Amino acid sequence: MSDLQELYQSLILDHNRSPRNFGVLDGADRHAEGYNPLCGDQVALDLKLDGDRITEIKFSGNGCAISKASASLMTTAVKGKTLAEAEALFTGFHGMVTGTAVPADPKATLGKLAIFAGVAEFPVRVKCATLAWHALHDAMK
Ligand code: ZN
């Protein structure tokens, strides 16, 4: 197994076992939900904004390890970011996992999220990995 695969597996397991920012946010400014019928993954997302900055974000729901780990990592990535910065991460992440627009240097552009690059090889898993991101995209509109 390559180093990247090992890192990928350990991060997925870690975030699946102890998801970050898990729960419901009281007094959220934005809310969105997503459902992936292919796998049965469900996610609900709450955001608090200060101007155009995401100050708080929480997710809840049920799903497979990849959907949960991706939601957890997404919340840690966009917390504290402006909506424009979060949108740029969404675009970069989406392009990478769908294989449609892979950033030249995923690690520089996406940080830890780059571990999901391998998902592009498993088309049925792409919707699991992008579910929370699509919910974020909806919540930001
Ligand atoms: Zn799934």
Contacts by 102-111, CB closer than 8 A, 24 or more apart = 110/77, 111/77
Dist CA 49 CA 45 (whole Å): 13
pLDDT in tens, 42-82: 999 999 999 999 999 999 999 999 999 999 999 999 999 99
- CATH number for the domain harbouring residue 100: 3.90.1010.10
Q: 138 CA distance to ligand 1 centroid (A)? A: 19
Q: 53 CA distance to ligand 1 centroid (A)? A: 29
Instruction: Give, as one character, the DSSP assignment of residue 120.
Output: G
Q: What is the pLDDT of residue 85?
A: 97
Ion ligand 1: residue ranges with CB closer than 5 A: 39, 41, 64, 67, 128
pLDDT in tens, 86-115: 999 999 999 999 999 998 898 899 998 998
Looking at the structure of the chain, the number of domains it has is 1
Does 12 score more than 80 pLDDT? yes
Q: 74 CA distance to ligand 1 centroid (A)? A: 15
pTM: 0.93
Say if strands 53-60 and 30-36 run parallel, antiparallel, or are unpaired.
unpaired
Domain that holds residue 100: 3-140
